[in-house]
Chain A
Amino acid sequence: MPQVSLTVNGKQHTVEVEGRTLLVELLREKLGLTGTHVGCDTSQCGACVVHVDGLAVKSCTMLALQADGMAVTTIEGIAAADGTLHPMQEMFREHHALQCGFCTPGMVMTAIDLVNAHPDGLTDKEIREGLEGNLCRCTGYHNIVKAIAAAHPLMHGQAPKAAE
């Protein structure tokens, strides 16, 4: 069986996988990182979004072997080593941007990439457009949009906006 060597959340792994194994299957089933979820089979829902070399990727749409030599970050890997939540995680909590929590890991990983890619700011409309690859069935997105808008200044080193 072929081998894949990759870094996941800063840790080096070498794993045997079938050629057809998806990155998300590697993460969930071989590495036990079950924070990354599978919500569909057509790359529509975004529950499986992780970062590959810093960019948001649907891990159900990438073969594990394609990640060879790459650095993968999952939802388990974004808080600080002392457990302090990433500003995006903190703002999701503050603004009640999650209910059942199933879409949340993919939503947070997409949101971080979206904010990273727009250092000069994001309008609500740009946030909504930026979430086109992620489905949430619980929140109606209202609070997700609020959380991302609130995380933006925190991630770009500006003073936090007061929560409502």
Chain B
Amino acid sequence: MGFEGIGASVRRKEDARFLSGRGHYTDDINRPGQLYAFIKRSDRPHARIASLQTAQAAAAPGVVAVFTGQDMAADNVGGLPCGWQIHNKDGSPMAEPPHPVIAIGKVRHVGDPVAVVIAESRQAAKDAAELLEIEYDDLPAVATTLDALEPGAPTVHDDVAGNVCYDWHIGDKGTVDAAFARAAKVVKLELTNNRLVPNAMEPRAALGDFDTSSGDFTLYTTSQNPHVIRLLMGAFVLHIPENKLRVVAPDVGGGFGSKIYHYAEEAIVTWAAGKLRRPVKWTAERNESFMSDAHGRDHVSTAEMALDADGTFLALRVATIANMGAYLSTFAPCVPTYLYATLLAGVYKTPAIYAEVKAVFTNTVPVDAYRGAGRPEATYLLERLVDVIAHDTGMDRVEIRRKNFIPADAFPYQTPVALQYDSGNYEMTLKAALDAADFAGFEARRAAARAKGKLRGIGISTYLEACGIAPSAVVGSLGARAGLYEVANVKVHPTGSITVYTGTHSHGQGHETTFAQLISDQMGVPIDQIEVVHGDTSKIPFGMGTYGSRSLAVGGSAMVKAMDKIIAKGKKIAAHLMEAAVEDIEFDKGTFKVAGTDKSKTLTDISLAAYVPHNYPIEELEPGLDETAFYDPKNFTFPGGCHVCELEIDQETGVVEMVNFVAVDDVGRVINPMIVEGQVQGGVAQGIGQALLENAIYDSNGQLLSGSFMDYTMPRANDLVNISVGTEITLCTHNPLGVKGCGEVGAIGSPPAVMNAVIDALKEYGIRHIDMPATGAKLWEILQANRPKMAAE
């Protein structure tokens, strides 16, 4: 057995089953007597349901039931709740219109559920749905972020005037305005952050089951956080107490945020299983994923930086309009506020920042957190703005960053937008990335490419993010309707093997390996004797799930806390067995020793004594070696780094070819370097996808035009390039592992690096800014419309 502890690139424990076809995803689960649900969805962006006739569908072969929104409302089913409340500038709460599980009266986006058909087979349900007779009275629709605020725009919700969900702000406007008044120069940039469809490869699925004997409900679902689903669905939607509701999230095929939220289908199948006394399964077809999974991003922003004469940032002013879609998804309101505007200091010591954010309703799919959630939007805005400042002032883009970096000796650093960074070293990651990318040698490569008719560019981004969410009291004061601690239960079994139950969830992150390494490192037990269990509310005490790169920083810290309790108890048992004082017992990697002697006991000796307590301090100590810990983080963690992108644009076609991508990230202590590299590469691929390919496009009527893999460009192998990943670390100072998080850095740092490279490639055309995605078609038009400045001069 090689080294398996912290820092080893251990091959993943979970891979054997995934590689052999033995993964266990929600749609792989079948229950006896199972029925199939098909959701009839609105094909109208905005309409009144004039009539809905279900009789023909209900009479179709194999159909067991057809339910509508009215049926569920009549059974006291509640609407889908929102988990975060934002307050307006004037202190009043945000508009929070109802979100029925199945539409009642009106549909508000293409994909809004209108009815559910439940039948003996998938095909029978789908066939019968064709027989539903639905008459709509179409209403004018609001299709885009900017349209929502147009005077006289149609209203998505009758009682939400002007479609404004909230009008929020952060920072000191007076100080910022004063700094702008005395600035030597102001640089302004208007930009959009394109709307994305997360597209985890596993479509969402849900299977509701009802035990007629016990009256217990079980929901199997594609979720990143089964306890959160149990809480939201049980308490707010179906009114089932926790003790009668089990939620299982088995193997889940990717999430990227889209599987955090409580979705209508989960409530529909659970409720229907109870009504029909039979299991009910629903599995999304990909077209349903496009029109029912929460989308990501979709901001329109204006950013202005006030500068002094030598390029020092004096103040930043940002105004953003954020699209919420037709309804508030579970965590939607916090994304463009506390996960976005609080990040606008970035890696820079900008002394004054003011941001205002208007969130608007539109007749589109709800928008919520997608990999990075708010932080990619902040990073893209800042890092494009910094390059535009360099463009407008003629200053060097690397030097202007260096000049404004928060220096390595300034931590802890309090930003003007609430966050306090605990650690970081932005010069270190910048230098490492520039060296790895041979930034200094770039101009020669540009010239060589030019000779071949290719426009070569290089772009950098120096970024920071906040993850490991988050201190419960802090997020509570900011509007969260939940605590954001994490839970671990560590069971040392009688013969010394260990099972760890974690409230986090793995859907690609490799927790079964990373957490086993963490336990192995501390407890001295080989990882093949450590089982990591997640995703089942009947096994795990509690948990808040996996998102915001929190699993190791928060969930891993809970494990450390639980192991500390195990070790403390083990020392008492060891002291008894070896007739020594507890204070004299030392624990190191599986062995309890009496200090200064050769007396020792193994973890197995202790666990056996704990479960077979014949010779045991039974008066003072309970038997067993099984401890649970809740860990509430003290602060966010702050990974950061530098990404460098090099690419070529074909001057004839506008097509972009990636040449090189280098990411150097500070993710804090690394448990498994192989897994960290994989996480960063995957995140970068999604960031490159956003920058060059992906775009969720609605037409002016509210129809989703890019609603399938035929129309929405997912990055394929040949669109990408090898992604070189390095780490240069500073330790997180406030969690016991010194870890920060690596799941989102790739998607946060990369889009501006790519776009800065695109614009650098077009240097001779004098292009100042292009909105994402920089598709071949868009670049071809730009190349046609602009003549090279050098040639013209």
Contacts and interface: CB of A to CB of B under 8 A. Distances in A.
Interface string A87-128: 001001110101111111100100000000000000011011
Contact of A140 (B199, B710, B720): B720
A125 to B, nearest CB: 8
A70 to B, nearest CB: 19
Most B CB within 10 A of own CB, among A38, A40, A93, A101 = A101
Given A42-B709, A101-B251, A96 B674 contact: yes
Interface string B239-274: 000000000000111101000000000000000000
A145 interface: yes
Interface residues of B, number: 56
A39 B201 contact: yes
Given A75-B20, A92-B19, A139-B685, A41 B254 contact: no
Contact of A101 (B18, B678, B718): B18
B691 to A, nearest CB: 13
Contacts of B256: 137
B23 A141 contact: no
A1 B678 CA distance: 47
Given A40-B709, A41-B287, A143-B678, A98 B19 contact: yes
A114 to B, nearest CB: 11
Contact of A44 (B14, B252, B285, B710): B710
B708 A137 contact: no
A131 B649 CA distance: 23
Contacts of A102: 23, 25, 200-202, 253-254
Nearest to A77: B21
B508 A138 contact: yes
B722 interface: yes
Given A99-B509, A142-B723, A143-B678, A39 B23 contact: no
A82 interface: no
B358 interface: no
A138 B683 CA distance: 8
B677 to A, nearest CB: 8
B12 interface: yes
B1 interface: no
Contacts of A125: 718
A6 interface: no
A20 B679 CA distance: 40
B526 interface: no
Interface in B490-535: 507-510
B12 to A, nearest CB: 7
Interface stretch (A29-37, A51-59, A61-69, A150-158): A29-37
Contacts of A40: 286, 708-709
B727 to A, nearest CB: 15
Given A34-B28, A41-B285, A100 B21 contact: no
A49 B159 CA distance: 50
Contacts of B723: 140, 142
Contacts of B25: 34, 37, 102
B507 A100 contact: yes
Contacts of A138: 201, 254, 508, 678, 682
B171 to A, nearest CB: 36
A137 B717 contact: no
A135 B685 contact: no
User: Chain A, interface size: which category?
Assistant: 35 or more
Contacts of B21: 33-36, 74-76, 105
A31 B285 CA distance: 21
Contacts of A47: 201
A20 B202 contact: no
A21 to B, nearest CB: 8
Contacts of B251: 100-101
B709 A140 contact: no
Nearest to B202: A102
Nearest to A79: B20
Interface in B303-336: none
B11 A96 contact: yes
A68 B64 CA distance: 33
B392 interface: no
A16 interface: no
Most B CB within 10 A of own CB, among A36, A39, A100, A131 = A100
Nearest to B714: A135
A100 B254 contact: yes
B286 A35 contact: no
A139 B678 contact: yes
B792 interface: no
A18 B715 CA distance: 35
Contacts of A79: 20
A20 B717 contact: no
Contacts of A35: 20-23
Contacts of B253: 37, 39, 100-103
A105 B17 CA distance: 11
B201 A136 contact: yes
A9 B602 CA distance: 47
Most B CB within 10 A of own CB, among A35, A105, A128, A137 = A137
B717 A132 contact: yes
Contacts of A145: 717, 722
Nearest to B28: A34
A127 to B, nearest CB: 7
B724 to A, nearest CB: 9
B681 A139 contact: yes
Contacts of B682: 99, 137-140
B678 A99 contact: yes
A142 B663 CA distance: 13
Nearest to A135: B714
B599 to A, nearest CB: 42
B717 A131 contact: yes
B23 A129 contact: no
A143 B681 contact: yes
Contacts of A142: 681, 685, 720, 722-723
B79 interface: no
Given A37-B25, A102-B23, A102-B25, A137 B199 contact: yes
B785 to A, nearest CB: 31
B517 to A, nearest CB: 14
B19 A104 contact: yes
B123 interface: yes
Contacts of A72: none
Interface in B704-741: 708-710, 714-718, 720, 722-723
Nearest to B507: A100
Nearest to A144: B717
Given A45-B709, A101-B23, A135 B12 contact: no
Given A44-B710, A45-B709, A39 B678 contact: no
Contacts of A128: 717-718, 720
A139 B716 CA distance: 11
Contacts of A101: 14-15, 17-19, 23, 251, 253, 508
B200 A131 contact: no
Interface in B14-50: 14-23, 25, 27-28
B508 A135 contact: no
A42 B421 CA distance: 46
Nearest to B255: A100
Interface of B: 11-12, 14-23, 25, 27-28, 123, 199-203, 251-254, 256, 285-287, 507-510, 674-675, 677-679, 681-686, 708-710, 714-718, 720, 722-723, 746
Interface of A: 18, 20, 28, 33-42, 44-45, 47, 74-76, 79, 85, 89, 92-94, 96, 98-105, 108, 124-125, 127-129, 131-132, 134-145
8 contacts: A33-B21, A35-B23, A45-B201, A98-B15, A98-B18, A101-B17, A138-B201, A140-B723
Given A101-B15, A136-B201, 16 more contacts: A34-B27, A34-B28, A36-B21, A37-B202, A38-B203, A41-B287, A96-B674, A100-B251, A102-B23, A125-B718, A131-B716, A132-B716, A135-B201, A139-B685, A140-B682, A140-B723
Closest 4 pairs between A and B when the two form their complex, measured CB to CB: A35-B21, A102-B253, A101-B18, A140-B685
